[in-house]
Amino acid sequence: MKTVLLAPLDPVHDNAIKLIQRRLAEAGYEAISMPPGTTPEEVVQKALVHNADTILVSRTLGYKVGEILSQLVDLAEAAGVRDQTRLGVGGMAITKEIGTELGFDGCFVGELKMEEVIAFIENRASISTDGADSPNLRKKPDITGGYTYEFFDPVIEKLLDQISTQAIDWVGTKTTDGIERAKIRTAMLENEGSASEREKLLEQYLRYCDADIQAFYRSRHLPSGVRWLEQSEIDGVSNLFNTSHENFGSLRHVGSKPLFFSQYGTGCPVMDVLHIKVAEAWGIDGVFHFDPSWNAQREGLLEGYLTHEHDGTIITLENLKFIHHFLEPYTLWNVRGHRGLNTPETQVLGHAAGADLFKINIPYGSTGGGTDPARLTVDGIYSLMLASQYGIPFDIPGNDELSGVPPYKTFAGILIMMALGLKLGARPIPKPLLCYSPYMTIYGRMDDNMIDMNLAKLAVWRDIVDTPLWPGEPVGFMTHTPDRVQSALQTSLHATLASTMGADAVTIASSDEAYSKGPISVQARVDTLRAVKDQLRFQGSVKATLSPEAELIKEEIHEKITETLQAVAERGDFVASIYEGLLGSKEDGLYPGRVGAGTVRG
């Protein structure tokens, strides 16, 4: 057992020393603390008596800080203490420059991180005074790990088997231009080294593209509002971030869940990297790529380093690889493809660029997402096959609630997507949305509070299936106002509510995301991240229990999910069920998409 000597070199301030002493004792160390006002001479004498392995001193007051600390270092060296004892310093008055100049072995600045203190004591990682990076303590998690996807409701399980089997059988050998492009894109990636083969494949690819995409490849004509990134812009980001840095912390106060995600999609990959790095520095665990709406409405994708003047960042292999290059090793990366005419090819490019997660939801993408149900069903099932082939989990956003769909219809659609994915060998992650939706406002379901309904929406999943849960997208939707403080508070309340229910991940918005009339600001991202971190600290390991009212709501949702699935199964046609509103009707505020209508072949 190592001995650690703790000494506050201040006349009154020793709170941090007491905290460290308790934490070290809990970790199995002999931690000896000295009283405030301890002198450098007394520290060295005590170290000699107890044969200390490590000395940690703190200094809060700024006057004479250099003189006092240098005296300690000199006395320790003269007494031979430095030969066997590591010397560390921290406190409000300390900077890394002071630690380096005075010759301390370690310098602790900013928020206290006990894992760094212990690593310093054990000499496992050098908490250096020059800002050099120490070994990464965070690991990239598997959100689906430990879940069996066992269904607890045999009625729902049987209905899902019937619906998913019919949908897969209906697709059969059907194809679309999107699927053909995905196949050709795969071949292009496999033949990157052959210019002649690429040209041949590109000509095949363009047969399945819209005229403006063809014009881009043949004459380099850029769509409106799009420009090439300058090499100086690309190099500028590399020069800024291809350097070591201190370890980034976590938003969580206790435990390893939930993981926290935010979306990016400023339109510019350079700006995206800046936003991502700020979010990572504040503790985000994952990010997902948000593409422009027109990207989903055209047949074909562009290529190269491209930026444009509207929200959503253009999907190209170059843009994706550029962004992925700057992610921390532990940051999970989701490339969205749950809607639009390029869903299968998005999976191909996402996989080639290093994506950890996909996003696929046929019922939402073919209604709220604007794509024709038949087209997206064919493309979506092919995309699920790709997700299975690549071994990449896919999440299923429940954002059709934002159009006014009641949660039980949304959840029925998510469950169908789960069944389709599982049948095809993929790993699904349902994403029930915690929001103040039109359905809630019209029918007064949250007039008293926003807790009961949201807890019930999470708890019902635990009664149906053993699955990871990822509330999004983002939580708190439609509770936010242009007031950044209010917006950040609402996000933090919803995020921590999900945490009390054992959610595996949560998607959070910046405080200006819902009402931004222009680019989302970095400051607004920090608003929310800081609010969530503080709310998690306030909450700790407290878990929620459902009130009697929440229990009733949960049972109601469960019953109506079953009724909805029964209606779809009785209809015997998954695609027709979407067209006819069984998973969200015109009365609810949801309409079948039109983009890509009539393009399914076979």
Q: Is the peptide bond before 474 cis (omega within 30 degrees of 0)?
A: yes
CB 231 within 8 A of CB 281: no
pTM: 0.85
CB 292 within 8 A of CB 308: yes
pLDDT in tens, 432-468: 999 999 999 999 999 999 999 999 999 999 999 999 9
**What Å distances lie between residue 331 and 26, 286, 439, 532, 563, CA to CA?**
30, 5, 35, 18, 39
3-state secondary structure 158-177: HHHHHHHHHHHHHHCCCECH
Q: How far apart are the first and last CA of the chain?
A: 72
**Rounded CA separation 275/108 (Å):** 27
For 516, residues 6+ apart whose C-beta sits below 8 A from its C-beta are 524
**Rounded CA separation 100/123 (Å):** 17
Reported confidence tier of residue 296, pLDDT bands at 50, 70, 90:
confident
Reported confidence tier of residue 471, pLDDT bands at 50, 70, 90:
very high
Give residue 500's pLDDT. 96
- Residue 104: strand pairing partners: none
- Residue 7: strand pairing partners: 57
- How much of the chain exceeds pLDDT 90, in percent? 74
Q: In this structure, which topology does domain 3-122 adopt according to CATH?
A: Rossmann fold (3.40.50)
Q: Is the pLDDT of residue 64 over 80?
A: no
Give residue 516's pLDDT. 61
Return the minimum-mean-pLDDT range out of 47-56, 159-168, 308-317, 441-450. Answer: 308-317
Residue ranges per structural domain of the chain: 3-122
pLDDT in tens, 338-362: 779 999 999 999 999 999 999 999 9
**Rounded CA separation 3/569 (Å):** 68
Reported confidence tier of residue 127, pLDDT bands at 50, 70, 90:
very low
The average confidence (pLDDT) of the chain is: 91
Give residue 518's pLDDT. 60
Give residue 132's pLDDT. 35
CB 40 within 8 A of CB 67: no
Give residue 134's pLDDT. 39
Token pair listed for 292: 């422009």
Give residue 137's pLDDT. 57
At residue 32, what are phi and psi to the nearest 5 degrees? -110, 120
pLDDT in tens, 218-232: 999 999 899 999 999
Give residue 515's pLDDT. 67
Reported confidence tier of residue 514, pLDDT bands at 50, 70, 90:
low
Give residue 130's pLDDT. 38
